[in-house]
Structure 1
Amino acid sequence: MEESRVKVSVETPSSYQKVLTIEVPSETVTAEIENIYSRIKKTATHPGFRPGKVPRKILEKKFSDSIRAEAIESTVSSTLKQVLEEQHLVPLTTPDFEDVTFEGEGPLSFKVTIEVEPTIELGEYKGLELKRPKAAVSEEDVQRVLERLQLSNAKYIPAERPVEKNDIVVIDFEGFEGGKSVEGLKAENFSVEVGAGMFAGESESQFVGMKKGETGNISVKYPDDFSTKELAGKQIVLSVTVKDVKIRQLPDLDDEFAKDLGTYTTLEELKQSVRENLQKDLAKRLEQFTREQALMTVLANTKVEIPPKLRSRVGASIFEEEVRKLAYRGADKETITAARDKISEFAEAEAARQLKVTFVADEIARRENLSVTDEELSQSIEETIAQAEDEDPRIRTYFNSERVRDRYREQMRIRKILDFIVSNATIVEVDPAETPADSAQTPEPEGGES
């Protein structure tokens, strides 16, 4: 192909779109036709002729239309590749071809529409003022963790008396509506903490006074918005047999309790460990909160058109992922079908948001020369593996996937860009009520275990 004789005109209907009108000399197509005939002739067969000796006229009669179509397709493809390189254009989606014309005498002409990275009006990203809520670990936060540790180390003692509130009752039950068994509402050796709200409404209070070995009926009225659609709004009778009644006995919060956990000698040491872990966790979440606020601030001040084909492709991927999540959580086909419109609406909005984040990140990365090196990627992956390998030995194999590593690198890149924005911002600590209304949820200390 003689690239110098190819004629190209470029139009820009929008910031994300290029329309290329291309003309290729007829000799280029003719030469490609000859190349294809030469290739076919080497292996073509026909009665009365040895392989490779079939006359050209017979080949033309048999293959002319398909060879011409192949030559045009090949020339269009190779020419477009060359033009894109010369014009420094990178399509984000599959090009759309139209008006492909070749009459034989004149040039091959065609028009191509492509989506490219859009022009972006980037908002301010240096010198921002970011509001971070004041937050600290309180003694109440520490106490909540200790109480959870108490619960997880509680002993359960058989009760030789009728059921009382807060007892643990082990039951067999089956649900009935109008005298007919309700599918899926049946279990054996099911534990219920009386008064904890596991069953709808105040129905658990009906356990009070029952004895081990006793069988009775519990009436349950499920609310109209109950998560299990089949039970929503219904009045169900549970036939219940009490198999065991247990009293929860909490250990005392003292030095012996701390020693029983294995790594502490005093209760004060345990409290200090809990406090330090809560402080580390709070610091991480405040850091993430600030990153998210920085991102939302830059996005709000940035103007960019999202390429529609690219948005549709990303949206379709998000839609499929959300459907998979629903199915994994046990949703049936009817539930998923009913939710399709909401999922589709979410997927479209999320695709636009993700792409805007990507375009903003790309622009800041170009301006500030920010990237993730192979060494940084490998080090971060190894740290992640070291933290999780004991719980999931498959994690190293997971990170062997090039696709996974690319996705992880992109996450690291976004985080590095956000850290750059935060490092160039002024952080103002304010009362939680003064944080922007559209900010991420204000972090509070979580009662995780030490």
Structure 2
Amino acid sequence: MQVSVETTSNIERRMTIGVPAQEIDQAVQKRLQETARTVRMNGFRPGKVPMSVVKRRFGDSVRQEVVGEAMRDNYIKALQEQDINPAGYPQLEPKVVEEGKDLEFTATFEVLPDIELGDLSKVTVEKPVTEVTDKDIDKMIDNLRRQQATMKEVKRKSKNKDIVTLDFKGFIDGEEFEGGSAEEHRLTLGSGQMIPGFEKAIVGGKTGEEFEIEVTFPEDYHNEELAGKPAKFEIKIHKVEEPQLPELNAEFFEQFGIQAEDEETFREEVKKNMERELKQAISNKVKNDVVDGLLETTELDVPAALVDQEIDRLRQDAVQRFGGQVDFQQLPKEIFQEQATRRVKTGLLFQEVVKQNDLQADDEKVEEKIQEIASTYEQPEEVVAHFSNNPDQKAQIESSVLEDAVVDHVLAQAKVKEKKMKYEEAVQAGQSQG
């Protein structure tokens, strides 16, 4: 086998590979002999078809099969011989395939990029600083109660947190606009579902009332045709309902998986859950700032094959989330292009930080993370045993701990700015980044 390698770009290589004619021709001959022993043709007894007839009938297809297998096998041997690690599958193209001549083909493929990490001291990270207050817990418990609330129709004027059933019809410059109308729409006042000013203008309305309100679409509204424009809405209220909140008792607590006999114990459990969520949100925010910093300070060519693989994973995840009713390949690749590219770049950069600094997944931190996950379940010891007996699951934890080690390494050199935030702001920052 003869091999030559050409560098066609930073991450693309083209190998030209030659395979002796004797090797190919012998394989073709062997395959034809096997075919002759089993083929059935009119006018000939089984196993008695002349080789000349078999070759004339099956020679081209057999040679095509042999050449395809030879290209795949010799491509792999060539990679090992040249000590090349490809990223994704190659494009194999035969150049010479005639009988009696050496097989010659090219393999065009991508390789992982050589990465020169940027100056980590130029990475800037904003770390939220906050805590869970009694007011935050009160609001969370109120939200939980409202999730379980029953509704009671009232005849009084509506107020915030009431649910109003209404019709509305929107006009701009006296003309109805698309998407600006609805009938029997249930709206929780004060929820922020509608554009600024809409819900506030409904507060005080009663069942049976009809009136007009005037609002202005935000300048950054997602529909550019409506952004910044004043609008009028005709409103008709059909019903005003007041939520009837459940009592804080053991039956209510149990609906959220919390075994508690009194409100104080329930509050403590809610606080623990909120603190876990806050910790994860801050971790997400910091990690994504680290990723942003690495991407900004390091130039990186990304193998298209890896991006395509990541796009397929994202498409499959999307299909599963929506019930798996469609073939993931029907989803346009372009929707996932940016996210997939970022993920691949992040993976390559993290691998480089690990390699250059010989980072390891610390056993104690792996155990801590397993215990942390287990603590959220009713039978934590079963969760710990599950990870202990499932190498694949434990490997995912080790990978997560190794990512944390990369983040810590970058943070040690980066500019870290602490920013005071309220609980909800910190959680939202982590969610929007995660």
Report the TM range for the smaller structure's normalisation.
0.5 to 0.7
Q: Which position in structure 2 is the counterpart of 1:165? A: 159
Alignment deviations for residues 358-378 of structure 1 (CA, whole Å, 9 cap, x no partner): 2223334445264699xx79x
Answer yes or no: is the 8 Å Cα contact 1:219–1:235 preserved in 2: yes
How is 1:146-185 mapped onto 2 (pairs within 5 angstroms)? 148=143, 159=154, 162-166=156-160, 168=162, 171=165, 173=167, 185=182
Identity %: 20
Unaligned ranges ≥5, structure 1: 1-5, 329-336, 390-398, 435-440
| Counterpart in the other structure of 2:61 | 66
Q: Distance in 2 between matches of 1:347 and 1:199?
A: 28
* One-letter amino acid of the structure 1 residue matched with residue 115 of structure 2: I
1:7 is aligned to: 2
> Can you list the C-alpha shifts for 1:122-172, whole angstroms capped at 9, x where unaligned?
35779x99664433344543454465467668787664x542434736647
CA distance in 1, matches of 2:371, 2:39: 54
Would you say 1:83 and 2:78 are equivalent positions? yes
| Inter-CA distance 416–241: structure 2 relative to 1 (3 Å threshold) | closer
Residue 12 of structure 2 is aligned to residue 38 of structure 1:
no
- Asked if the contact 1:8/1:21 (under 8 Å) is kept, the reply is yes
Q: Distance in 1 between matches of 2:126 and 2:169?
A: 52
Aligned match for 1:357, one of 338, 343, 346: 346
| 8 A Cα contact 2:129 2:420, kept in partner | no
Contact between 1:222 and 1:231, CA under 8 Å: does it hold in 2? Answer: no
Q: Is the 8 A contact 2:160 2:203 kept in 1?
A: no
Task: Kindly provide the amino acid, as one letter, of the partner of residue 288 in structure 1.
Answer: N
CA contact (8 A) 1:206 1:218 kept: no
- Specify the alignment match of 2:283 in structure 1: 287
Q: In structure 1, how many angstroms separate the alpha carbons of the residues matched to 2:170 and 2:120?
A: 61
CA distance in 1, matches of 2:420, 2:200: 38
**Superposed displacement of residue 29, structure 1:** 1.3
Q: Distance in 2 between matches of 1:217 and 1:249?
A: 26
Give deviations 1:301-341, integer Å, cap 9, x for gaps. 444321234334534654x469869988xxxxxxxx9x97x
Corresponding letter in the other structure for 1:241:
H
Structure 1 residues 4-44: Cα deviation after superposition (integer angstroms, max 9, x where no partner): xx111122333422221111111111101211111111112
Q: Is the 8 A contact 1:163 1:209 kept in 2?
A: yes
Larger Rg: 1
| Superposition pairs of residues 3-402 of structure 1, within 5 angstroms | 6-123=1-118, 132-145=127-140, 148=143, 159=154, 162-166=156-160, 168=162, 171=165, 173=167, 185-187=182-184, 192-193=187-188, 201-202=197-198, 205=201, 208=204, 210-211=206-207, 214=208, 216-219=209-212, 237-242=234-239, 245-246=240-241, 263=260, 265=262, 275-315=271-311, 318=314, 320=315, 344=334, 347-366=336-355, 368=358, 370=360, 387=377
Structure 1: how far apart are the matches of 2:180 and 2:238? 18
* Deviation per residue, 1:50-72 (Å, 9 max, x gap): 11101112222322332333332
Q: 1:410 to 1:125 in 2, by over 3 A?
A: farther
Q: Structure 1: how far apart are the matches of 2:34 and 2:146?
A: 79
1:278 to 1:14, Cα distance in 2 relative to 1, 3 A: same
Identify the residue that residue 383 of structure 2 maps to in structure 1. Answer: none
1:396 corresponds to which residue?
none
**Structure 1 residue 114: Cα displacement:** 1.4
Q: Structure 1 residue 257: deviation in Å? A: 6.0
Q: Is the 8 A contact 2:206 2:237 kept in 1?
A: no
Question: Aligned with 2:84: secondary structure?
Answer: coil
- Is the contact between residue 164 and residue 186 of structure 2 (CA under 8 Å) also seen in structure 1? yes
For the 8 Å contact 1:96–1:113, the answer to whether it is kept is: yes
Equivalent position SS for 2:24? helix
Write the distance in 2 (CA, Å) between the matches of 1:10 and 1:205.
71
2:426 aligned residue: 443
The alignment partner of 1:20 has SS state of strand
The match for 1:420 is 405
CA contact (8 A) 2:189 2:199 kept: no
Q: Which residue of 1 aligns with 2:256?
A: none
74 and 287 in structure 1: CA distance in 2 versus 1, 3 angstrom threshold: closer
Residues 194 and 205, structure 1, Cα contact 8 Å, conserved in 2: no
SS at match of 1:185: strand
TM-score, normalised relative to structure 1: 0.65
Please say if residues 306 and 352 of structure 1, whose CA atoms lie closer than 8 Å, have aligned partners that are also in contact.
Answer: yes
